[in-house]
Amino acid sequence: MLFDPIKIRNLELKNRVVMAPMCMYNAADDGMVTSMHLEHYAARAVGGLGLVLTEATAVSPDGRISNGDLGIWNDAQSEGLRQLVERVHSYDCKIGIQIAHAGRKSESAITPLAPSALRFSESYTLPKALTIKEIQDVKKEFLEAVKRAVKAGFDVIELHGAHGYFIHQMLSPFSNKRDDMYGGSFENRVRFLCELVKETRTFYNGVLFVRLSAVEYQEEAFSLEDTIELAKLLKALDVDVIDVSGGGNAPMGPSKIFPGYQIEYAKAIKEKAGIKTAAVGIINTYELAEQTLKNGEADLILLGRELLRNPYWAANTAKLYENKDVMLKNYARAYQ
C-alpha cells in the first residue's frame, strides 16, 4: 500500500510517503526562502515522495521558533514560497506548508507570547499572557498566513497544533491557566483551534491537516482521550487529516523511544474519531511503514531523519520491495 496512490478531498498523491516538517534553521533574518530550501525540498521531490511538508513557517516575527525559521507574515515571503512550490511541482510531487506560531517557545521574540505567563523551562524567557483581543489577533495572523499560502499554490495546509507551540499551549491545562473563554474547560481550551479551523474553511476548500501531540508525557496534560475528542470536533469542522505526533509542551519526553513508537496514537485517533491520520516517529523501514498501512493504523507515513539521510529513500525502497518506479524517468538507468 505504501506506493499506492491516495485521494484526499480533491488531491491525489501518487503514494503515501510524506516528508515530515523539519526546521532547517537556514532562513534569512527576514524569514525568506533561500537557495538551500529550494534545493533541499526539490531533492526529496526528485526522490519520489508523494508529498513534501515544509518546516514550521511562522505567522509573525514573534512567532518564529528561531531567527533561522521561515516566515509567511508578508507578501514578499509568500512570493519566495511560491517559487518553492513551483520547484517541487516540477518534479511531480505535491507540497504542503506547516503554518505555526511558537508561542512561549519562541527564541526570536524579545517577549514571547502565550496563553499564560509560564516559562517552557528556566532557560526560556518569561512570556506575556495575552488578552482575549490579542489571542484573536494571533488568530487573524494565522488566517492571513493561510491566505498567503493558498496564493502561493500549496496543495496542503497544515496547522501546527503540536510540540508545545502556541496552539498546543492553548489546548493543554499544563500551559493554559486562563479563566476566561479561552481557558479552564476542555471546550474553552480547544476554542482557539476550532475557531481557526472554522474560519479557515470560510475561504479555503482545499486539503487541511492539523498536527497534534497526542500525548504530553506529564501529569495535568492534554491526554490521548482529549486528543480523540478534539479530533472528532475537527472532523466535524472539515479537517481532512490529523498528523499525529507527541510531546513538546514540557522538557520531559517519553521514557523510551523506538521505531514506530507513536503509531499507536495514530491508530487510536483513526479508529475512535473516524478521521484519516498520518503516522510519524522513527518509521525507518519499508516493513514498518507497510505494516502500519495494512493494519489500518494510519493513512499516510511521514518520514523525518530517514529522508535527511537519504533523499531517495522512496525511490530506492519502491524499486527494491515493489519493483515500482517513482523517481524521474531521467534516473531509470540507476536501476538497470
Specify if 286 maps to a domain.
yes
Specify if 60 maps to a domain.
yes
Q: In the block, which residue shows the cell 505504501?
A: 2
Specify if 78 maps to a domain.
yes
DSSP 232: H
Question: What is the pLDDT, as a whole number, of residue 28?
Answer: 81
Overall number of domains in the chain:
1
As a whole number of angstroms, the distance between CA 281 and CA 212 comes to 13
On whether the pTM is more than 0.75, the answer is yes
Q: Are 63 and 166 in contact (CB under 8 A)?
A: yes
Mean pLDDT, the chain, whole residue set: 96
**How many CB atoms are located within 10 Å of the residue 113 CB?**
23
- Is 335's pLDDT higher than 90? no
What CATH number does residue 317 fall under?
Answer: 3.20.20.70
Question: What is the pLDDT, as a whole number, of residue 336?
Answer: 78
Specify if 1 maps to a domain.
no
DSSP 10: T
pLDDT tens-digit map of 43-92: 999 999 999 999 999 999 999 999 999 999 999 999 999 999 999 999 99
pLDDT-based confidence at residue 29 (cuts at 50, 70, 90) = confident
Specify if 150 maps to a domain.
yes
Question: What is the pLDDT, as a whole number, of residue 303?
Answer: 98
Question: What is the pLDDT, as a whole number, of residue 218?
Answer: 87
Specify if 244 maps to a domain.
yes
Nearest to 136 by CA among 195, 75, 57: 195
Specify if 146 maps to a domain.
yes
Q: Where are the alpha helices (DSSP H) in 237-275?
A: 263-273
Q: Which amino acid is at 45?
A: A
**Percentage, residues of the chain above pLDDT 70:** 100
- DSSP for 114-152 reads ESSS--SSTTSPPPEEPPHHHHHHHHHHHHHHHHHHHHH
Question: What is the pLDDT, as a whole number, of residue 53?
Answer: 98
Summarize the confidence of residues 211-229 as an average pLDDT: 95
Which residues constitute the domain of residue 35? Answer: 6-335
Question: What is the pLDDT, as a whole number, of residue 220?
Answer: 87
pLDDT-based confidence at residue 329 (cuts at 50, 70, 90) = confident
- Is 332's pLDDT higher than 90? no
- Is 299's pLDDT higher than 90? yes
Nearest to 312 by CA among 330, 295, 326: 326
pLDDT tens-digit map of 120-177: 999 999 999 999 999 999 999 999 999 999 999 999 999 999 999 999 999 999 999 9
